[in-house]
Chains A and B, each alone.
Chain A
Amino acid sequence: MAFTNTPLAWKNLTHDWRRLIVAVAGIGFAVLLMFTQVGFQNALFDSQVKMIDDLQGDVFLVSRAKYTLAAEKRFPLELVNQARSASGVSGAYPLYTELTLSRLKSFGMGAPSKAFPIRSIGFRLDDPIFNSDRINSQLQKLRLPYAALLDVRSKRDNFPFPTESDEELAKVQAELADRKVVMVGTFDLGTDFAHDGNLAMSAENFAEYFPQRKQFGDPLSVVDLGLIHVGDKSRLTDIRDTIDQLLDDRVFVLTREQFRNQEIEFWDKSTPIGIIFTAGKIIGFIVGMVICYQVIYSDIADHMPEFATLRAMGYTTGYFLRLIVMESVLLSFIGFVPGLLASTLLYALLANSTGLLLQMTPLAILMVLALTIAMCIASGLLAVRKLLAADPANLF
């Protein structure tokens, strides 16, 4: 069949600007809906792995039983020390966390509040654990007994501490695991599904607060995470493999990337969260499909005699399919651009108001664009049946 040069798809699409605006608004809305879902999902997943992102280290030791960060499955400290002996490793450091025993109670307004669970993070002050300068600059303060840093993003309702001023904060009377605690400063980590707040403290203080972590023995002899630094980052995989062979089966040896993915995969696959967001995306997809179908269908319905005439002239089914797919793809691009702009704006607004980390990543853009094109083509192919019914026999 002859290649046709008259851009009929484009002409028909742009001819009626009122309809085009409705189409663009509708598809833009669907794009926005999908971006919102993708954005929230990414933001929530990012917040689940925010702690991993904030930690230093290239390879992580994680108990095999620890299916998520919030699962309190530990492994012996010796494994960290063993890992340090592997070739290529420049340092290996333990990290302790506690949630079950860690309950923070404040006496701010006279009467004691209820004790709420908060994640306590213990680390040896001389070890390079955190990326955050905000923590690293306050290490001296943490050497004092009872001293801890409070996460400024801890849930306000449960932990109503005056985080704006370190002096005010230090005056507040509080108890952690029924023992006095002094908040000597703040840091910024963030909450996630399992943790409403965070405290950071020295390993020594951590051991004082949670002696029951390990029955009969040193509470610091069981470790939640092992952070391993490698000398030559280009040999990361090799070194990981070496450590893996060196250590026994009680721990996973994971690169940062693997660790992060494992954590996200847990939230995505093993909890309803992934399903909820997938459902949200599907709804956006369907909304877009319905709108797109309406636009293409009414365009076809309004031009039935013209299309029937083309049929009579000898235009083939293939031509009509290509025409509608072309129209769909054009429509998806025209609708995508304003949808993307609106989404970027919405991300900024939501990031300001919720504190969630909403980012317009290239991957998210590509994914939503692909969904939009698929959505438009699918609805175009649904609508094309109407066009193929155009019967030139009724023209005379």
Chain B
Amino acid sequence: MTAFASLPATSGAYSQGPQVPKTIKVSQLNHYFGEGELRKQALHHNNLEVKRGEIVIMTGPSGSGKTTLLTLIGTLRTVQEGSLKVLGNELNGASRDEIVGLRREMGFIFQAHNLFESLTAFQNVNMAAELADMERGLAKERIDYLLNRLGLGQRIHYKPKSLSGGQKQRVAIARGLVHQPKLVLADEPTAALDEHSGREVVTLFQELARDEGCTIIMVTHDNRILDVADRIVNMVDGYIRSDVAVHETSVICEFLRQFPLFSDLSTSTLTDVADKMMVQEAVAGDVIIRQGDPGELFYLIRSGQVDVVIEEDGLENKVAELGEGQYFGEAALLRDEPRNATIVARSKAVFYTLGKADFKDVLARSKTFVDELRSVLASRT
């Protein structure tokens, strides 16, 4: 049995199995600013995985390190400690050529538009298309499409001087997207935009993520666009405080809600529970828990099947089969008793586990809990 005690369930890493390609893999990443006595650690043991086509929103107060992490991912800073893989390339110790090559596969959208005043909207966007060696006609088509999509169809050949702040920002967004980047890094892309154009931009992001497999990482404080996030990463003081795959978390919450003891809990409590769960993986034949052992974990089956076997008088009786969305291991935790059954994996399976202390902690939130529990247990036998 392989355990991944350090991998939280809500990271979503196992929702589609571990084989899904990762655009970004951050592990044990530390970063420091300053030297000597003034040296200050800006990032602490950051771990993060982002899958292809995911839209990630990074949040956190200013100074929390999200921008530092973004610049590291964007190859704009040199990795000091730990490992950072972007689009399959290890950045720690990467050569200048590798970095230049990587940058061309990325799209950058900065908070400031940084457009050349001397170039028209079209020419500014074209600077990115030319670098990607895009065929001229194709590039023109795509530039026209993007600028039109972003509501600048009438102003394609205007210089930045004749554009409003929001229009300039949209030109910069088009520049960041024109060369079909595999990874887009955006800093407050919608800050300068009104609600309508902000929505248009994130819709465009979603289309690119879906149609072109483009991975998008955004730093934003704009609550209006949180709904497009596949994953929300929250940083505080250089630590990744939470890294939550939105869809996977909702799946877990749905599963948890099936558990009668949890059915009354609010979504936010359920999310907290989901957040505390860890990933555990098993192959066919693995014994997950053994009858008579002390109970330490509560299990939720994310995928695969298990057999429930009860040993009585030296005979093994298979009493049940459990599958995706079902749970086991709660009884021993509730009653502080040894396990009352053995669970064996029938197939390759992934479980989300919750520790005893956390489990009890959650239960304590509900007054009606113990009663509920008793009725549940009663109905079981």
Contacts and interface: CB of A to CB of B under 8 A. Distances in A.
Contacts of A395: 76, 108, 110, 112, 114, 187
Nearest to B126: A6
Given A6-B127, A313-B128, A395-B76, A11 B118 contact: yes
Nearest to B123: A6
B101 interface: yes
Interface string A303-317: 101101110111110
Nearest to A309: B114
B222 interface: no
A396 B118 CA distance: 23
Contacts of B130: 2, 4-6
B191 interface: no
Interface string A294-334: 00000000010110111011111000000000000000000
Nearest to B181: A313
Contacts of B116: 8, 11-12, 303, 306
A56 B119 CA distance: 63
Given A6-B127, A306-B115, A314 B187 contact: no
B117 A15 contact: yes
A220 B101 CA distance: 86
Nearest to A395: B110
A393 interface: yes
Contacts of A8: 116, 118-119, 127
A312 B104 contact: no
Contacts of B106: 314
Given A312-B76, A395-B108, A396-B71, A305 B103 contact: no
A392 interface: yes
A313 B111 contact: no
Contact of B76 (A5, A303, A306, A393): A393
Interface size class of A (residues with CB under 8 A): 20 to 34
A179 to B, nearest CB: 78
Given A4-B130, A8-B127, A396-B111, A312 B103 contact: yes
A52 B19 CA distance: 92
B114 A393 contact: no
B110 A309 contact: yes
Nearest to B185: A396
A2 B118 contact: no
B131 A305 contact: no
A18 to B, nearest CB: 13
A313 B67 contact: no
Interface in B97-152: 100-104, 106, 108, 110-112, 114-119, 123, 126-128, 130-133
Interface in B214-247: 219
A6 B127 CA distance: 7
A393 B77 contact: yes
Interface in B48-85: 67, 70-71, 74, 76-77
Given A313-B104, A316-B100, A392 B76 contact: yes
A315 B67 contact: no
Interface in A1-35: 2, 4-6, 8, 11-12, 14-15
Given A15-B118, A396-B187, A313 B123 contact: no
Contacts of A12: 116, 118
B233 to A, nearest CB: 15
Chain A CB within 10 Å — which of B76, B118, B123 has the most? B118
Interface string A370-396: 000000000000000000000111011
Contacts of B132: 2
A313 B108 contact: yes
Contacts of A306: 114-116
Contacts of A316: 100
B117 A308 contact: no
6 contacts: A2-B133, A4-B130, A8-B118, A309-B108, A314-B103, A316-B100
Q: Which 5 A-B pairs have the closest CB atoms?
A: A15-B118, A314-B103, A314-B104, A11-B118, A309-B114
Interface of B: 67, 70-71, 74, 76-77, 100-104, 106, 108, 110-112, 114-119, 123, 126-128, 130-133, 185, 187, 219
Given A6-B119, A12-B118, A313-B103, 19 more contacts: A2-B131, A4-B127, A4-B130, A4-B131, A6-B130, A8-B118, A15-B118, A305-B114, A306-B115, A309-B110, A312-B76, A313-B127, A314-B100, A315-B131, A395-B112, A396-B110, A396-B111, A396-B187, A396-B219
